[in-house]
Amino acid sequence: MSESGSKADSGRGRRVKERLRQWRREARDKSHWAAERLLDRRVCIGITGLSGAGKSTLLTSLIYQLSHPHKAQLPGFAPALNGDLLGAELKPALDSGLPPFDYEQCLEALLSQPPRWPESTREVSAMELHIHLRRRRRLAGPETRTLILELRDYPGEWLMDLPLLQMGYRDWCRHQSHIIGGDARAGLAPQLISQLAALQPHAAADSAQLDALWRDYRQFLLDCRSRRKLSYLQPGRALLDDENYGLLPLLDLRGYTEEQLAAMPDQSVYQTLARRYRDYVREQVTPFVETHFRHLDRQLVLVDMIGTLFAGEQSLDDMRLAFGHIADIFRYGQTGLLRKLWRPRVDRLLFAATKVDQVLAADHDALRQQLGQQLQQAFAGARHRGLPLFCEAIAAVRCSNESQRNGRRMLMGHDLEGRYLGFENAEIFAQLPREGEEWRHYTGAAPPQLRPPAGMAKGQCIPHIRVDALLNLLLGDKV
């Protein structure tokens, strides 16, 4: 071999070695994580739901139940029933780069005297729960093992923004104009809707006018939520903070072709709004998918099925619309942007109706049936993609007890002001209401909001309904 050849070889050899060293370094950094995942020791669960769905409360209850195995009432979760659940430790999820969930503060609120609900939060948070389990079939090696449960809690409003990744501004306008035209929304802000429809795409943008419209539009979204209990609202972040996203749909683009719109001057209303739309997607939606969403192994979606059902037909229809979009998202983005952004990982999608302690036990299953029907309708096209769907009906903190009065079953509990009360909820039927008469049965009959029960600190237990069944769906195959 010539001298120059061997020099080149040794140069290449050095480079290869350096490369190998670098890979090893990288692998070392990541290996504990990847190995844990491979060995089924780590599972990352996303918990979402619109504000008020019950995320913080469920997380607190879940962590409490798993960390107090001797007090936990989890007979439906095999490791607890069999005495194999030894306990759990809460740790910050350092790899996630997300702020920790404030378990201590949420628990303190629930256990205080008088008990309170946790403060409402609007941000994403994460933590790790290291669950210690006794090994059943032990050939050799340690007697215990640890399952690392990474829990990530994020607002469902962010999920409602994911469809934006798949459409440009023009498509979003058409989509919104279709939705806003529906009864449930149009009646809430007729003046705003006619102002939006009257905006001329080619006119020069007047930023003061657009800012004023944005403020009205944001209020309109908030009203859709609070007065109609609607779910599918965009931009979702407008419901959580008061940033000036300035994202407005143009409701009448019928006279324009795509080319005409694209050729409009930079300062036109259309181009200005299209720019804001792109900025919003780039700065808000994409980073959420990149840094957070695609790391999830399992997704739990909490829904206030009782609140939605008693709010009426439009609210239930809108929930189905939102589910339909969630179904699209979990088809792993067969097309377009989502596919590029997403490494498919979520292998289970769970929905849980929350706060079922507001209705009699006899109605719990009917609620679950109704949630199931909503999902079946919304996921009809998505099911064959093979992502298993599950649904449950739970109460993270059971605030009521049943008793018999004059031959009738009643619920007893405290209202938010702390007054003791007894009530009987409107019976819930296993079929979603369809006709007027069926709807009238529910109208105006929503059960009261309840306060957490007193005495949880003393008894050292948090009563719940079917949180163990939920744990089974989430983790049954991992423990």
DSSP, residue by residue, 26-88: HHHHHHHHHHHHHTT-EEEEEEEESTTSSHHHHHHHHHHHHH-TTT---TTSHHHHTT-EEEE
**CA separation for the pair 323, 331 (Å, rounded):** 12
Q: How many amino acids of this chain bind ligand GDP (CB under 6 A)? A: 21
Nearer to ligand GDP by C-beta: 260 or 449?
Answer: 449
Given 2, 4, 120, 207, the residue binding ligand GDP (CB under 6 A): 120
Range 45-64, binding Mg ion (CB under 5 A): 55-56
Given 42, 44, 46, 56, the residue binding ligand GDP (CB under 6 A): 56
In this chain, which stretch among 68-76, 181-189, 261-269, 352-360 interacts with ligand GDP, using CB under 6 A?
352-360
From the list 314, 309, 318, the residue with the least C-alpha distance to 443 is 309
Contact in structure between 363 and 309 (CB atoms under 8 Å):
no
Handedness of CA 455, 457, 459, 464 (dihedral sign): positive
**Contact letters (x/-) for ligand GDP, 439-478, by CB under 6 A?**
----------xx----------------------------
User: What is the helix (H) or strand (E) element at residue 409, kind and residue range?
Assistant: strand 408-414
From the list 399, 408, 406, the residue with the least C-alpha distance to 448 is 399
**Number of residues assigned to the chain:** 479
Given 121, 177, 284, 425, the residue binding Mg ion (CB under 5 A): 121
Nearer to ligand GDP by C-beta: 22 or 112?
Answer: 112
Nearer to Mg ion by C-beta: 153 or 468?
Answer: 153
Contact in structure between 184 and 314 (CB atoms under 8 Å):
yes
**CA separation for the pair 118, 177 (Å, rounded):** 37
In this chain, which stretch among 85-93, 210-218, 349-357, 430-438 interacts with ligand GDP, using CB under 6 A?
349-357
Nearer to ligand GDP by C-beta: 250 or 470?
Answer: 470
**Contact letters (x/-) for ligand GDP, 177-216, by CB under 6 A?**
----------------------------------------
Nearer to ligand GDP by C-beta: 180 or 395?
Answer: 395
Cα–Cα distances (Å) from 119 to 102, 104, 393, 439, 466, in that order, read 10, 12, 23, 33, 24
Residues in touch with ligand GDP (CB under 6 A): 49, 51-57, 117-118, 120, 354-355, 357-358, 395-397, 399, 449-450
Residues in touch with Mg ion (CB under 5 A): 55-56, 121
